[in-house]
Amino acid sequence: MAPCGEKSEGAISSIVIIIGSVSISLCSTSLYIYNYLMRLFIYFNFEAMQTEAMPLVNKFELKEDLESPFPKGVPWVRYYGTYKDLLINIIWPGKDLALGVDNVGTVSSSLVTYAAIQALKPDLIINAGTAGGLKAKGASVGDVYLASEVAFHDRRIPIPVFDLYGVGLRQACSTPNLLKELNLKTGKLSTGDSLDMTPQDESSIIANDATVKDMEGAAVAYVADLLKVPAIFVKAVTDIIDGDKPTSEEFMQNLIAVTNALGEAVTRIIDFICEKCHSEL
């Protein structure tokens, strides 16, 4: 990742927020879990369709870009607007054109990040989304984490040096003042393309020393690093992946509260970033 001071010593003038999706552990495919996941995704799809419900779009009075900067036919959506002196872009990966479900995972998020950086030349990437948390590492539902580093847990290439490539460990942009001022928790983030957690995934998550697990972060970090744009990762814990499962009612209540907490945290981060240069973060 580009060090925060490398890009420019002027104030940050443009950011891109890549919206991630929910990640959750599926320990079994029992009807119970299946049921609450279905409800979860119906909620998310509903929310995604309802721009009114997107707290960041509302808060900063962003508009949808009807002349998309992306290639014709791709489902990626840009919302944008100016807040103080900061150009805010929110990129939502949209829905799969054939299946109608939200685009999730590392391939989609890497493409969206690449295309957004190429089109919008931001000074900073913020990858914001929900995540599973590890109780053993101190995570609780509702916590909002600013990841210190990110890595993959499902790219096993057990050959010297290629193993490190597979893990793809990258440091997030260092933001000590932001962390202190906003009183966010910090921990390591581990990324994989599956909703469940196999024994091999679990070993890798533990080897990554991860506190939170998502489906996009390490791919966003790879692209940001490749194109030398600093990136930070804001992940709100919707569920505990190494503990007891809540009832579906509890889960839905959690989810709404956690989504609001994420929106609030990103709002405070944007407020903090305004009129600051990278080295002040």
| H runs (alpha helix) in the chain | 31-49, 55-59, 106-120, 162-167, 176-182, 199-207, 217-226, 248-273
Q: Which residues of 40-78 are buried (b: 16+ CB within 10 A; e: fewer)?
A: beebbeebbeeeeebbbbebbebeebeebebeeeebbbb
Q: The tokens 């744009």 sit on which residue?
A: 229
Near a second copy in 161-200, by CB under 8 A: 161-162, 164-166, 193-196, 198, 200
Structure tokens at 171: 């440091």
Active-site residue 143, yes or no?
no
* CA separation for the pair 221, 86 (Å, rounded): 22
d(CA 226, CA 24): 28
Give 102 or 143: the residue with its C-beta nearer to a second copy.
Answer: 102
Taking the least distance from each CB to a second copy, the nearer of 88 and 172 is: 172
Catalytic residue status for 239: yes
Angstrom distance (rounded) from CA 175 to CA 41: 32
> Among residues 142 and 246, whose Cβ is nearest to a second copy?
246
Piece of 8-16, 53-61, 148-156, 176-184 that binds a second copy (CB under 8 A): 148-156
Burial class (CB in 10 A: 0-12, 13-18, 19+), 209: middle
Q: CB of 4: closest distance to a second copy in angstroms? A: 18
Instruction: Tokens for 199, please give them.
Output: 């024994």
Angle formed at CA 140 by CA 221 and CA 190, multiple of 5 degrees: 25
43 binds a second copy (CB under 8 A): no
Kindly indicate which of the ranges 5-13, 31-39, 84-92, 123-131 contains the residues binding a second copy, using the contact rule CB under 8 A.
31-39
> What's the burial of 138, exposed, middle or buried (CB within 10 Å: 0-12/13-18/19+)?
exposed
| Closest to a second copy by CB, 14 or 194 | 194
Of these residues, 143, 214, 216, 239, which one is catalytic?
239
Which residue of 59, 135, 137, 156 would you call a contact of a second copy, by CB under 8 A? 156
Nearer to a second copy, 143 or 201 (CB): 201
Joined together, the tokens standing for residue 139 give: 């995570």
- Interface with a second copy (CB under 8 A), residue from 73, 180, 183, 244: 73
Given the rule CB under 8 A, which of 85-93, 136-144, 147-155, 236-244 is the region that contacts a second copy? 147-155
Binding region for a second copy (CB under 8 A) out of 109-117, 231-239, 240-248, 259-267: 109-117
Judged by the rule CB under 8 A, the positions of this chain that interact with a second copy are 26, 29, 34, 37-38, 41, 71, 73-74, 96-97, 99-101, 103-107, 110-111, 114-115, 118, 152, 154-162, 164-166, 193-196, 198, 200, 219, 222-223, 226-228
Residues serving a catalytic function are 52, 239
